[in-house]
């Protein structure tokens, strides 16, 4: 049986000795299998990778996904610590499971990403992508912000709230879930608009087609005290009159799963369902 992947790059959670130790162990396993272990910090190496293996948690995979998705590199995740929605290979099973994946025994899931662009006074000031969500929210002051939401140039509503979460199906089980957003099957091509603590209780989550163009127009940023964040890992401050345009990114994340993986098993474990 031949290997499906020969050039392999391993990413470990930053500043985590345990993740570094596991990544080194995996690196040796990869070399022993006769594969090429690439340098994750070398752009040239990364462009030749057949697969990326992430060691850490969901946050690490979110970070890596923005690097490898434009290169169409699939990702497999080794979980350290809490059960994750994205990283699902357990450390005690990693050698056997990853060998199965490298030899072609896996299921591939395609996960949509979001692309966001911020405009100020008619000029683009920032662009970023996200696998989970783009969030417009208030800052450290306990003060509501006011914004208008448009979908495909149609006015949806004007709201006073702590903010709004624009989530992918992958992100529907992250921050959006804590704001009473819907759980979407991860392979759906849809986007959830989930208000955060809206002042009007009839302001409910909305699910739209992933091909839709969403615009958030800042009306009152709470004395320049609001932000837009991307997967909770980077943020840009917003001013009154700024626009945040969000849509589906051109590329998607290719997530490789063990054949035995079940999304519903993870939901039951994470959410305490019977």
Q: Is 58 a catalytic residue?
A: yes
* Strand residues in 20-81 grouped as ranges (E): 36-38, 51-56, 75-79
Q: Which member of 16, 42, 58, 133 is catalytic?
A: 58
92 phi and psi, to 5 degrees? -65, -20
> What are the residues whose beta carbons fall under 8 Å from the beta carbon of 51, sequence distance 6 or more?
5, 7, 8, 9, 73, 74, 75, 76, 101, 102, 256
Place of tokens 């697969």: 51
219, burial (CB in 10 Å: exposed 0-12, middle 13-18, buried 19+): middle
249 with 129: CB under 8 angstroms? yes
Place of tokens 């800052």: 139
146 with 158: CB under 8 angstroms? yes
CA distances from 151 to 123, 176, 193, 216, 226 (A): 21, 19, 10, 9, 21
**What is the Cα–Cα distance from 158 to 271, expressed in whole angstroms?**
32
Helix (H) or strand (E) holding 163: strand 163-167
243 with 133: CB under 8 angstroms? no
**What is the Cα–Cα distance from 209 to 65, expressed in whole angstroms?**
22
Write out the catalytic residue numbers: 58
């Amino acid at each position: 049986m031949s290997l499906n992947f020969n050039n392999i790059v391993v990413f470990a959670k930053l500043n985590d000795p345990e993740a570094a130790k596991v990544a080194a162990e995996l690196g040796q396993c990869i070399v022993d299998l006769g594969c090429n272990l690439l340098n994750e910090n070398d752009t040239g190496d990364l462009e030749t990778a057949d697969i990326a293996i992430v060691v850490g948690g969901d946050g690490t995979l979110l970070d890596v996904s923005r690097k490898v998705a434009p290169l169409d590199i699939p990702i497999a995740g080794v979980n350290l610590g809490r059960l994750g929605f994205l990283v699902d290979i357990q450390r005690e099973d990693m050698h056997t499971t990853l060998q199965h994946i490298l030899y072609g025994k896996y299921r591939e899931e395609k996960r949509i990403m979001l692309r966001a662009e911020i405009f100020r006074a008619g000029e683009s000031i920032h662009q970023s992508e996200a696998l989970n969500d783009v969030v417009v929210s208030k800052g450290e002051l306990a003060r509501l912000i006011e914004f208008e939401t448009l979908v495909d140039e149609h006015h949806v509503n004007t709201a006073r709230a702590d903010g709004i979460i624009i989530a992918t199906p992958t992100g529907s089980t992250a921050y959006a879930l804590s704001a009473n957003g819907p759980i979407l099957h991860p392979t759906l091509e849809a986007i959830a608009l989930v208000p955060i603590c809206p002042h009007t209780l009839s302001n409910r989550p909305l699910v739209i087609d992933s091909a839709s163009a969403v615009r958030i127009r800042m009306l009152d940023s709470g004395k320049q005290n609001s932000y837009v964040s991307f997967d909770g890992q980077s943020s840009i401050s917003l001013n009154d009159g700024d626009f945040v345009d969000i849509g589906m990114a051109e590329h998607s994340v290719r997530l490789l799963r063990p054949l035995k993986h079940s999304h519903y098993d993870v939901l039951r474990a994470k959410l305490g369902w019977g």
